[in-house]
A and B are shown apart, each in its own frame.
Chain A
Amino acid sequence: MTEVITKFTRTVPHWQPRVKPVDLKDASADQLAALQVTPSNTKISEYVLTLAHDVESLQVRSPLFNAIMYDRGGMSRAERELGALAASMVNHCIYCAAVHAARHADLEKSTDVTDKLFRDGAQAELDPRDRAIFDFAVALSETPSQAGPQHLAALLKAGLDEAEILDLILSSALFGWANRLMHVLGEPVRPPKTVG
């Protein structure tokens, strides 16, 4: 039996799909092209194989995801990860939260912020800049968005410029998207322990 993980963790779980991923043996030419399958690259995650059911979306989503999270300039990568984490906490996407908390900790070379958020929740004690970023991303992630002028004012007071604020909007909004795939189409599990 696999155990479904229900608490936030930085240890990245295994993602178990609730639908049957595309089987490479049955994949269409378009699916193989989108998956960039080559004789030397046949190891593709179950998540990507699941999304390959909608190949036109998969083709546009991957480069957009990379541009929002990794393109140069604007907000730091760690702060974009904090926006992603805030959205994932609102939507309770355990898998996304784990991946992006781990990336935040790597980039910051510190687990301090994500330890506090996972231990104390959204009200964890953060420095003023992280507080403003996290609160904005949480408010934007509610449905409908609850982000208002007071959230923007807090970002400006914390010293964020326009390019950084735009990147925060994009990265937290992107996880409104990612969470609705990861959290809906599958679940985070701890693989069964090997009996030995």
Chain B
Amino acid sequence: MGPIRGGLRGKERESGLTDMNTTALKSAGLGNAPGDAVEGRAKIFKMTQAAEEAVLRPQDYGRWSHELRAAFAARIALQYDERALSDQYAASAGAFASLAEPSQDGADDGLETVVAFMDKVATDTRNVTAADIAGLQAAGISDADIVRLCELNAFLAYQLRVIAGLRLMKDGYA
């Protein structure tokens, strides 16, 4: 598979950005030779990696530890048919690794409500309603922790689609 050719030229190209070894590019098979189009948007890929850090390994993680966040990421990646990336996230999930499997409902960890919410936001976004948020609040989840769950889920929705799209481009231009 070759790099994606073409892309932005001249002043529109961003220069001096050599570290393109990001989760999105590696997962799409473009870690080593992303091609001109991706290099033209290097800043966006670096910011995407920073966003992954912010949702998976934040300093202020609230109620959701780094391990639990990795487990949710692994679970969502599987719901998006990204097995290799799911395994990569699951490797950091520690005692929560079993939650990566979508058939697990979280009851063993007292996370049934949270897991059901994350599944709905990931796979059935359009049908999320006020009752879903009220359900988390009734289960004792703070508003800040609800926002943290949504940011994790929402970032993964973005990154997993970037990966799917880049892979299509890579194969299409090979």
Chain A residues in the interface with B (C-beta under 8 A): 18-20, 50-51, 53-57, 59-61, 63-64, 67-68, 71-74, 90-93, 140-141, 143-145, 147-149, 151-153, 156, 161-163, 165-170, 172-174, 176-181, 183-185, 187
Q: For the complex, what is the distance from the CA of A161 to the CA of B132, rounded to whole Å?
A: 42
Q: For the complex, what is the distance from the CA of A57 to the CA of B35, rounded to whole Å?
A: 28
Q: For the complex, what is the distance from the CA of A117 to the CA of B60, rounded to whole Å?
A: 42
Among candidates B133, B151, B159, B166, residue contacting A18 with C-beta atoms closer than 8 Å: B133
Extra contacts besides A60-B54, A144-B80, A184-B125 (9): CB < 8 Å: A57-B148, A64-B48, A74-B40, A92-B125, A149-B171, A165-B169, A166-B165, A176-B161, A177-B158
SS class, residues of chain B in contact with chain A: helix
Check A176–B157 contact: CB distance below 8 A: yes
Check B12–A162 contact: CB distance below 8 A: no
Contact-residue size bin, chain B (C-beta under 8 Å from the other chain): 35 or more
> Which residue of B has the minimal Cβ distance to A173?
B161
Among candidates A51, A149, A163, residue contacting B7 with C-beta atoms closer than 8 Å: A163
Chain B residues in the interface with A (C-beta under 8 A): 4-8, 12, 35-38, 40-41, 43-44, 47-48, 50-51, 53-55, 58-60, 79-82, 121-128, 130, 132-134, 137, 143-144, 146-148, 150-151, 153-155, 157-162, 164-166, 168-169, 171-173
